[in-house]
Structure 1
């Protein structure tokens, strides 16, 4: 491990995307299963962490927190302790699917709506034929259905549990159910990644990524799920982050 850099109380990993994949691969290939909880954190989550006591506890107990946002990269550089690059949930998912296709890993996909979940899994099975899709379930389940979903995941014992239910809800869900996820090796949230894979949402063009404007592309093009804050309201955390982590000494 290369250590971490502390940004507003959140210890961000200084591993590259490749090194993060190797870290997770080593854990998956261990004989004794143990849940590895990875969090991909952006400036919005970092600001939420300032006042959310439960999220603070979750962050302390997480196994790895990756810098999912150019703001985190800029803040680390401003601090004089840079991270090498962003490690996003989407990029990490694709890389793990690639590795899983070589290693015959099993995945369980939890989240998004039923139609998108089905399309995403079909696309993943087509692109990565050696990946074992252990199971899937949409993210709009009731409290009464939750125990059955957890029992199913425990029975299927997936190497990787991918959750697309939004942050920080995803990480709170993982934390709450750790005792029921002991047969899972790695779990992390991927935001709207399944929507992109399913074709529901257009992937960010390369030029937007090159200009570090991926957040703006999402802001302008990605619809907001029912019950969630508007994306414009959520982005109001960005000025707070830039002031506290980059401008203010």
Structure 2
């Protein structure tokens, strides 16, 4: 499927449609796919966080979630086809689950947020696509029991809406226990958006790579370090990689 290596991360050169087809085929065939996404901030964290790097790079499919990753891939001569945002992939998979009769499990966010997501999916699609759900507040010691509950729920698709690196490490550490779930992926703050708690950037801002800025202006105190410092570090890493072999 054309996997590139960039800034200590593997990334698959897939379109949204290609990604969906691979996932649909895996679920249909009873196979297992561990999915991950990378954006500028996560790639910056992966430079020093060896556990996160292993958790991401061990995934079967790694999509580029941020527009900055697409730009960097072109600058480095390894152009990726398109951005495959985790929230868009998740919403497409919920639609697919409704069409094909697959069951989903939602793990993460606050109780009132994840329960609102479940209610919305029940109303928009059907209660039949829901295998179960749980909030994202739990200890490391509780993880094996949670993974067991998910595996026994009958879910074919698992969405984990927890911040990095916890969600990546949860999926990696519990990958054997979750083998019966055909598709597992981290979706970050997507439940906050689906529930209506957080508003997503207009499509034009998404298309020109300013979705991060829209998120920043909503919560500047909480997001300034992640975006302003993180994005600056990502730009530095990209140019360092670009010119490291130049005389």
Calculate the TM-score normalised by the size of structure 2.
0.91
| Residue matched to 1:40 | 37
Residue 149, structure 1, aligned to residue 141, structure 2: no
Counterpart contact for 1:107–1:131, Cα < 8 Å: no
Correspondence for 1:227: none
Q: What's the CA shift for 1:98? A: 1.3
Cα distance, 1:60 vs structure 2: 3.2
2:218 aligned residue (207, 216, 221): 221
Residue equivalent to 1:17: 16
Instruction: Give CA-to-partner distance per residue, 1:96-122, whole Å, 9 cap, x none.
Output: 111111101100000000000110111
Does residue 242 (structure 1) correspond to residue 235 (structure 2)? The answer is yes
Counterpart of 1:232 in structure 2 is: 224
Give the secondary-structure state (helix, strand or coil) at the position aligned to 2:213. Answer: helix
Cα distance in 1, alignment partners of residues 214 and 85 from structure 2:
15
Confirm or deny that 1:175 pairs with 2:172: yes
Distance 1:244 1:142, change over 3 A: closer
Contact 1:41 1:69 in 2 (8 A): yes
Q: Helix, strand or coil: the match of 1:23?
A: helix
For residue 60 of structure 2, the aligned residue among 45, 58, 63 is 63
Distance 1:48 1:108 in 2: 27
Q: State the SS of the aligned residue for 1:180.
A: coil
1:83 and 2:80 correspond: yes
Gaps of 5+ in 2: none
Q: What is the rounded CA distance, in whole Å, between the counterparts of 1:9 and 1:89 in structure 2?
A: 20
Aligned residues: 241
Alpha-carbon distance between aligned partners in 1 of 2:97 and 2:138, rounded to the nearest angstrom: 27
- What does residue 129 of structure 1 align with? 126
Structure 2 contact 109–161 (Cα < 8 Å) conserved: yes
Provide, for residues 201-223 of structure 1, a one-character-per-residue CA deviation record: whole Å limited to 9, x for no partner: 11221232233210101111158
2:20 matches 1:27? no
The worse-fitting range, judged by mean Cα deviation, of 128-137 and 190-199 is: 128-137
Structure 1 residue 53 and structure 2 residue 50: aligned? yes
Deviation of 1:142 (Å): 3.4
Task: Provide the secondary structure at the position in 2 that maps to 1:218.
Answer: helix
Instruction: Using the TM superposition, give the Cα deviation of residue 66 of structure 1 relative to its aligned residue in structure 2, in angstroms.
Output: 0.6
Change (3 A) 1:246 1:68: farther
Root mean square deviation of aligned Cα: 1.8
Q: Aligned pair in 2 of structure 1 residues 223, 23: CA closer, same or farther (>3 Å)? A: farther
CA–CA separation in structure 1 for the residues paired with 2:65 and 2:203: 17
How far 1:5 moved relative to its partner? 2.1
Deviation at 1:11, TM superposition (A): 1.4
Distance 2:190 2:203 in 1: 16
Q: For 1:30-58, what per-residue CA distance to the aligned partner results, in whole angstroms no more than 9, with x for missing partners?
A: 13x43x11111101111111111112222
Say if 2:110 and 2:136, in contact at 8 Å, map to a contact too: yes
Which range moves more in the overlay, 121-130 or 15-24? 121-130
